[in-house]
Amino acid sequence: MASNMLVMQSGGSTQVLNRTLKGLVVAAEEYGFYGKIYGSVHGLDGILSGKLVELSNMSETRWNRIARTPGALLKSSRRKLHDGDVDQLFKILEKYGIRNLFIVGGNDSAETGHRINEEARNSGYLLSVIHVPKTIDNDLVLTDHSPGYGSAARFVALAVMGVGRDAETMGKESPITILEVMGRDSGWLAASSALAKNDPKDAPHLICVPEMPIDEQTFLGEIESSYVKYGFVVAV
């Protein structure tokens, strides 16, 4: 008898999070590797509270609609696994006959998956834990392009292009704009702000990324230089 499968969505929701969910479930059904396919409502919190829903046998029409919907169908969570959660976690997994856990998320989610895998090994519970990349930061080690990055990069590039046109037309009234984008330790998203730039005068004029620290005086100097050259500045 095939073992059951559980999927949880974790961390910040991206434009393509539900598309990944569809891919997992539809492929699992197509190849018939698993018995029942469950989803956890609100990530790890949902597992610990036993809030699991069955995802098997939904129509293709419904899955296509879900795949085009932003956000998280199963709802998300940033809950991390604590020492006091371990017994309850495996109690729920055992109750539903789950031996395969898919975690769709970013860095913190991967860390949670690793912790669950280690706890399963230590307790002798037979469990396969698979982390499915998802993060707009695009900073998962050994992952070339993370789902979620592409749509976020496009948004940033278009936003910066629009802000640049605004700053250019406002002139002396509002010539300098500074935008802050996400990326705790990685500059992929900030760097994407240049994707719609066609001319040196176009925004952005200055991109600061965490991989290359910049001090205040250098930053101000670059701002002044661009302002003198173009009459407006957009820094990301």
* Given 85, 137, 166, 199, the catalytic residue: 137
Residues in the chain: 236
Q: Closest Cα to residue 102, out of 2, 4, 31, 30?
A: 4
How far apart are the C-alpha atoms of 173 and 166, rounded to whole Å?
Answer: 11
Cα Rg of the chain (Å, integer):
22
Q: Tell me, yes or no, if 87 is annotated catalytic.
A: no
| CA triple 52-53-54, angle to 5 deg | 130
Active site residues: 137
